[in-house]
Amino acid sequence: MTEQHREIDVLLDEQRTFEPSADFVAAAHVGDRGPYDEAGRDREAYWEAWARRLDWFTPWDTVLEWDPPFSKWFVGGTLNAAYNCLDRHLQARGSKTALIWEGEPGDVRRYTYRELHEEVCRFANALKGLGVGKGDRVAIYLPMVPEAAVAMLACARIGAPHSVVFGGFSPQSLRDRIEDAHATCVITADGGYRRGGIIPLKASTDAAIEGLDYVNSVVVVRRSAVTDPRAAPHGDAVDTPSCDMTAGRDHWYHDLIAAADADFPAEPMDSEDLLYILYTSGTTGKPKGVMHTTGGYMTHVTATAKWVFDLREDDIYWCTADVGWVTGHSYIVYGPLSNGATVVMYEGSPDWPDRGRFWELCERYAVTVFYTAPTAIRAFMRWGDDWPAGYDLSALRLLGTVGEPINPEAWVWYDRHIGGGRCPIVDTWWQTETGGIMITPLPGAITTKPGTATVPFPGIEAAILDEEGNPAESGYLAITSPWPGMLRGVWGDEERYRETYWSKWPDIYFPGDGARVDEDGYYWIMGRVDDVLNVAGHRIGTMEVESALVDHGAVAEAAVVGRSDEIKGQAVAAFVSVVEGTETSEALRQELRGHVAAQIGAIARPADLIFAAELPKTRSGKIMRRLLRDVAEGRALGDTTTLADPAVVRSLQQQFADSEA
């Protein structure tokens, strides 16, 4: 038994049962596990019933066409994602708050469904005026401001697939993504607030698109001028000098909106038309553009947002993710708005101006459903119980986590100190590729245990398989049948799609995670089994970091592995050999760490960077990452018999020990 398993045994009395949601009960014709059985009997009919909850311009002919590894859902149907998030609510909920936004300095904006609809229509007209049409790719590089949601929905309204790029990514990362998708328009901001400072996104955009002639328009949201101190109770009124604007190419968002018509009929999109591309890290090469289409994706996120978060008419729902990640796409924008929920959005850091900021927001807006990442929970734990205790969190009734395995201590802390022991916790397993939540408890219907995402959502079929594809108690997580929100491919690279996800077993999806199943049939996700790291819930490919390192003139060879980190789950550990004649020094170490951050983004900055005279290799010249992981974890080395020169790792261990000291 590992230490974690022992702990879980101790915590098993933490098993919780709650009342299932009314919507779930209504769907349960055959006892409280009804939808599970129903989906098991006829999965397509079950998903079809969810699709009927959306508004379609024309109905589909066929629910599913499965030509492995390609699936098409609701074939022949037409709909529009923005229409489903906005227009269809106007009659019943036109004056209901759709979005409550708070900036880091403390400025607040609210949009009703009617107001959000109008803004999206205006911006759709503005984009159209700039020449953006159906099928054109638009890059969105924004801070967490309402315009991020507006921009996504305006693209969806036109039928122009968006590619949202996290604002923390470097100009080079933005450029790679713009180039890969051949985006012709970029939507950005002059800046965004983070820990009291301003991140100069427009300057980064200018650097990113230099020389890319096909980028013919840049829309700039004016963000960085909160000049009225009353509007910024938490921050200094920072008025930065305005950014550079290139005549003919760059346009202020507010000018475009003011001049645009408020009427823009939503474009009828084929169910299988591309809704967006979102880049994510893999084992090899540059990040890949995961493609999501319209009908199946909207069905999946609408269903899961409704049942997993048990969304009710009066909920105030807050997901703390950034729209730059899939969680922001599916569970800030498309899923909750499709359900007509009131969504809270926050721009800044959880510790600004102090470590109570999230709880202050929960209190102020009486948040009822709260969805965050285990890495954040572990940071809150470390900051101490007094921070949440200082605020009224009594409105909370449901908590969720996503992004990485949650350790039982963090689960229990979350339950007690945030949920007050009265809120079900939904630990949701899914990926950029899956589009929506796949493995999760349904509050009330599934008894939770700390540390497990429990069972597949009704209509999702999963298994744990060994290398050969035989069922196993412990092995690889597998998704054994197609689901509506599944990725439809990798943008411009069909081979990579087949190779990455469908080559391990025939016609079965391989997510890249290890897992085990317990006596109740619950899934325990153990983390990635490939060279993808999960740092603070963010996916980083070791190859990307290695490429960034060898791009530096002083580096001859680099190998990157993950090591465990108490708060972030994993941290990046880099082993570097320098080119002959280069002196290694603390200054060079810092320079290289900074180089990675500048190349990719701060999230990829190595926590440890160890200089190695040589990297440990097999006799055939393959770098032995397994041994590097042992070194980075500071543990005894595994089997070293295939190592060409054992002295190499011994010296690395010594250096690692020295660097830790």
Figure out which of the listed residues 154, 218, 453, 561 binds ligand WTA, where binding follows CB under 6 A: 453
Site for ligand WTA in 227-286 (CB under 6 A): 280
Residue number, 334 or 429, with CB nearest to ligand WTA: 429
Minimal distance, residue 60 CB to ligand WTA, in Å: 27
Q: Determine if 169 is a binding residue for ligand WTA (CB under 6 A).
A: no
Minimal distance, residue 14 CB to ligand WTA, in Å: 17
Contact 114, 94 (CB under 8 A): yes
Q: Determine if 377 is a binding residue for ligand WTA (CB under 6 A).
A: no
Q: Is the peptide bond before 20 cis (omega within 30 degrees of 0)?
A: no
Q: Determine if 603 is a binding residue for ligand WTA (CB under 6 A).
A: no
Within 13 A of 265's CA, how many CA atoms are on the CB side?
4
Q: What is the dihedral of CA 79, 83, 84, 87, to 10 degrees?
A: -140
Contact 431, 511 (CB under 8 A): yes
Contact 294, 81 (CB under 8 A): yes
Minimal distance, residue 324 CB to ligand WTA, in Å: 10
Minimal distance, residue 331 CB to ligand WTA, in Å: 9
Contact 463, 455 (CB under 8 A): no
Q: What mask of x and - would describe binding to ligand WTA in positions 322 to 361, judged by CB under 6 A? A: ---xxx----------------------------------
Figure out which of the listed residues 163, 428, 454, 500 binds ligand WTA, where binding follows CB under 6 A: 428
Minimal distance, residue 466 CB to ligand WTA, in Å: 19
Q: Determine if 87 is a binding residue for ligand WTA (CB under 6 A).
A: no
Q: What mask of x and - would describe binding to ligand WTA in positions 553 to 582, judged by CB under 6 A? A: ------------------------------
Figure out which of the listed residues 512, 562, 606, 616 binds ligand WTA, where binding follows CB under 6 A: 512
Q: Name the residue with tokens 């398993």.
A: 5
Q: Name the residue with tokens 């290695």.
A: 546
State residue 139 phi and psi, 5-degree precision: -90, 135
Minimal CB distance residue for ligand WTA: 432
Contact 270, 72 (CB under 8 A): no
Q: Determine if 511 is a binding residue for ligand WTA (CB under 6 A).
A: yes
Within 13 A of 410's CA, how many CA atoms are on the CB side?
27
Residue number, 125 or 434, with CB nearest to ligand WTA: 434
Site for ligand WTA in 297-326 (CB under 6 A): 325-326
Residue 101, Cβ density class (10 Å: 0-12 exposed, 13-18 middle, ≥19 buried): buried
Residue number, 350 or 374, with CB nearest to ligand WTA: 374
Residue number, 112 or 372, with CB nearest to ligand WTA: 372
The distance from CA 130 to its chain's CA centroid, rounded to whole angstroms, is 29
Minimal distance, residue 571 CB to ligand WTA, in Å: 16
Q: Name the residue with tokens 């890290």.
A: 281
Nearest CA-CA partner of 561 in 551, 571, 547: 571
CB atoms within 10 A of CB 287: 22
Q: Determine if 184 is a binding residue for ligand WTA (CB under 6 A).
A: no
Contact 258, 68 (CB under 8 A): no
Q: How many residues bind ligand WTA (CB under 6 A)?
A: 23
Q: What mask of x and - would describe binding to ligand WTA in positions 385 to 424, judged by CB under 6 A? A: -----------------xxxx-------------------
Handedness of CA 428, 432, 434, 435 (dihedral sign): positive
CB atoms within 10 A of CB 422: 12
Quick check: helix, strand or coil at residue 340?
Answer: coil
Site for ligand WTA in 18-57 (CB under 6 A): none
Round to the nearest angstrom and report the end-to-end CA distance of the chain.
Answer: 31
**Candidates 129-137, 430-438, 596-604, 646-654; binding stretch for ligand WTA (CB under 6 A):** 430-438
Contact 145, 223 (CB under 8 A): yes
Site for ligand WTA in 523-552 (CB under 6 A): 525, 527-528, 534, 539
Q: Determine if 652 is a binding residue for ligand WTA (CB under 6 A).
A: no
Instruction: Return residues touching ligand WTA (CB under 6 A).
Output: 280, 325-327, 402-405, 427-432, 453, 511-513, 525, 527-528, 534, 539
